[in-house]
């Protein structure tokens, strides 16, 4: 049971790495909290469901379409909202208010459009039969979602450390004011990061009906809570640290569901409280000395 819980937790945690990756990227680059992140993920799931029911598109094809559409949509959304937000005296607090309003608007519009009932996709779309790893039987959807997460992490790593735009992005993450002073087009860099964040959330949403069983218009709040737990554990503002946070969350969740199932729903709260009390800077975070 222990080995099975750990293996299942790793695969489950890789999915939640994908869930939190975009949220952590936005905070690292812009120091704003996107409370609409979970609702964007929900829209990705709704898009996959709509494309399958109306056009019969396989979720893997939908994931590619969602990636492109959400990436492109993120650019004008950034320029419409974020620059004004960052010019304020307290952009972090205002971001909470603004994106909370956006979250409520997305939830309301989705409820009006498709109703409040649960939507799901046939599990057979991801293949019939389980995958057996070290004697542990896992749904094939878990394997594909973990593979998508691994590809996303590698793509973000390549973007940040192997491209010129990624170098500029890391400069903005270190100090937005200094990057602006050196002539970096901060808005361009931030807009691309914002678009990538929405695209990552959308792809996670495509797999949500298979991992979570179904999607509903009001699932955004629960997704945000879990995503915050993942990125705080892995270090807030460090996108690649999300991988460690996701795996820790997934393994912890599976262990609790195996041995303390009645406490499993409290895990995100327990992780947040524990990390904030013991190591507020996150597992991979470094303490800052101030003179």
pLDDT per position as a tens digit, 221-256: 899 988 988 898 887 778 878 898 899 888 888 888
Q: What confidence score (pLDDT) does residue 285 get?
A: 62
> Which has the higher per-residue pLDDT, 196 or 88?
196
pLDDT tens per residue, range 264-283: 777 777 777 877 777 766 66
* 78-82, 83-87, 119-123, 140-144: range with lowest mean pLDDT: 83-87
The domain in which residue 142 lies consists of: 2-120+128-278
Q: Which residue, among 214, 216, 204, has the nearest Cα to 63 in the 3D structure? A: 204
Q: What is the mean pLDDT of the chain?
A: 88
Quote the distance between the C-alpha of residue 190 and its chain's center: 17
Whole-number pLDDT of residue 26: 92
pLDDT at residue 84, rounded to an integer: 85
Does residue 287 lie in a domain region? no
User: What pLDDT sits at residue 87?
Assistant: 81
Only one residue has tokens 């013991």, namely 278
Alpha helix stretches (DSSP H) within the chain: 2-30, 37-55, 59-86, 91-114, 140-162, 164-174, 176-181, 186-211, 220-234, 242-259, 267-278
Residue 287 pLDDT > 80, yes or no?
no
At 19, the pLDDT band (50, 70, 90 cuts) reads: very high
In a 3-state reduction of DSSP, which class is residue 273? helix
Residue 236 lies in a domain: yes
Query: Torsion over CA of 194, 200, 203 and 204, rounded to 10 degrees?
Result: -120
Three-state secondary-structure class, residue 286 = coil
Other Cβ atoms less than 10 A from the Cβ of 264: the count is 15
In the predicted structure, residue 288 carries a pLDDT above the cut 50: no
Q: How far is CA 258 from CA 1, 2, 5, 9, 261, in A?
A: 8, 8, 7, 11, 6
Residue 290, domain member (yes or no): no
Q: Looking at the domain assignment, is residue 291 inside a domain? A: no
Does 283 map to a domain? no
What's the first-to-final CA gap in the chain, in angstroms? 51
Tens of pLDDT, residues 89-112 = 777 788 888 999 999 999 999 999
Task: Establish if 255 belongs to a structural domain.
Answer: yes
When divided into structural domains, the chain yields a total of 1
What pTM does this model have?
0.90
7 domain-assigned: yes
Instruction: Give the CATH number of the domain where residue 203 resides.
Output: 1.10.3470
- Check residues 128 and 43 and name the one with the higher pLDDT: 43
pLDDT in tens, 122-165: 988 888 778 888 878 888 888 899 999 999 999 999 999 999 99
Q: What is the pLDDT of residue 289?
A: 42
- Alpha carbons 36 and 101: distance in angstroms, whole number: 8
What distance lies between CA 79 and its chain's CA centroid?
A: 21
């Amino acid at each position: 049971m222990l080995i099975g819980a750990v293996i299942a937790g790793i695969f489950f945690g890789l999915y939640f790495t994908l869930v939190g990756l975009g949220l952590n990227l936005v905070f690292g680059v812009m120091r704003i909290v996107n409370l609409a992140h979970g609702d964007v993920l929900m829209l990705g799931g709704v898009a996959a469901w709509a494309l399958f029911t109306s056009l019969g598109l396989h979720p893997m094809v939908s994931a590619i379409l969602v990636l492109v559409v959400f990436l492109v949509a993120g650019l004008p959304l950034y320029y419409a909202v974020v620059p004004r937000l960052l010019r304020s005296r307290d952009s972090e607090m205002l971001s909470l208010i603004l994106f909370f309003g956006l979250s409520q608007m997305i939830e309301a519009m989705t409820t009006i459009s498709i109703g409040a009932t649960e939507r799901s996709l046939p599990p057979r779309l991801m293949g019939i039969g389980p995958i057996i790893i070290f004697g542990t039987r896992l749904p094939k959807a878990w394997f594909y979602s973990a593979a998508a997460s691994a590809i996303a992490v590698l793509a973000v790593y390549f973007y940040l450390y192997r491209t010129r735009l990624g170098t500029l992005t890391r400069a903005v993450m270190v100090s937005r004011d200094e990057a602006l002073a050196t002539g970096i087009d901060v808005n361009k860099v931030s807009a691309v990061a914002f678009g990538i964040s929405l695209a990552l959330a959308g792809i996670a949403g495509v797999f949500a009906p298979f991992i979570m069983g179904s999607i509903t218009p009001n699932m955004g709040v629960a997704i945000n809570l879990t995503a915050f737990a993942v990125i705080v554990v892995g270090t807030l503002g460090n996108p690649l640290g999300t991988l460690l946070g996701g795996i820790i969350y997934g393994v912890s969740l599976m262990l609790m569901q195996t041995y303390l199932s009645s406490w499993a729903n409290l895990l995100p709260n327990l992780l947040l409280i524990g990390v904030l009390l013991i190591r507020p800077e996150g597992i991979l975070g470094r303490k800052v000395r101030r003179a």
